Amino acid sequence: MHFTTSERLKRIQQHLGVSPDGVLGGETLWALEKRLLPISERLTQVTSTTTPANSNEISLTLSQKGIDLIVQHEISSKQYYEKRLTHPTWPKGDSGITIGIGYDLGYASKSQFQSDWQSLLNTFDMVKLTRVCGLKGQTAKIHVSSLRSVTVPFDAAKHVFVHSSLPKYAQKTKSTFPGVEYLNADAQAALVSLVYNRGGSLKGDSRREMAAIKPLVASKDYIGIAQQITKMKRLWQGRGLDGLLHRRDDEANLVRNSGRKYSVDDLVRVA
């Protein structure tokens, strides 16, 4: 008897005790990793170099497509970064002075910043950047001009993104949206992108859509999650922040279409 790939996957899912939907998503991958640990060695693993991973915690499995979306919205491309973003910037709004791949010093403690960057930047630049940690909004805008001499090479930016920022925000996403690890890989990545950009707070009117997403993650309501991400656009419309509007659209579409088939090469386990 000949079975299609989807049918074979459904039979495996039934054996694992997960939803037999024929899609290689986060829930199935987690169940496989739990049953057969060596399979995890086939996934690219990104682990924080600053905080040891807890072996008892479940990793997120992000799609490379979703990780690329984060990088695209933070810096566009390596070429654009090297042309326009090697020096600190202020992205407007409530942001702090930003370096690297969306590394916002306004929301980084001095100790965290030093731990992440001290081996990658020269001493003089480290001193200057440490002074502006915690500054946000107009206060950050006032200070950014004093940092024109600071240079952050792309290789340093990439290193911090892979080994510090991505694992940190993966952990924060798990705390914000319990059960995110059971979603499809694109959806996991979209929510990491959201938290990477907005943080994990669920309090206040400006966060009502974030709060609404929490139970939708638990129920694996992909359409509902996408709708709430789209609704957030109300916060930036007419404020000259079109980049954020496009980012929300891309995240929502990533969630909506996350039921696609994934190859092992398209998956990145982030601990």
pLDDT band, residue 63 (cuts 50/70/90): very high
pLDDT on residue 240:
87
Alpha-carbon Rg for the chain in angstroms: 20
Angle, helices 242-256 vs 64-75, to 10°: value is 180
pLDDT at 38: 40
Structure token digits, residue 54? 């807890």
The answer to whether residues 183 and 60 belong to one domain is yes
Predicted local distance difference test score (pLDDT) of residue 52: 45
pTM assigned to the model: 0.77
Distances in Å between the Cα of 19 and the Cα atoms of 142, 163, 214 are: 53, 32, 20
Q: Place 55 in a pLDDT band, splitting at 50, 70 and 90.
A: very low
**pLDDT tens readout for residues 85-98:** 999 999 888 899 99
Q: Is residue 44 in a domain?
A: yes
pLDDT given for residue 186 in this prediction: 98
Residues 166 and 139 in one domain: no
187 and 258 belong to one structural domain = yes
Domain that holds residue 259: 5-70+158-270
The pLDDT of residue 39: 35
Residues 264 and 148 in one domain: no
Q: How many domains does the chain have?
A: 2
Look at residue 249 and tell me if it is in a domain.
yes
| Mean pLDDT to the nearest integer, 181-193 | 97
Pairing of strands 103-104, 98-99: antiparallel
From residue 61, give the alpha-carbon distance in Å to each of 32, 180, 198: 12, 10, 20
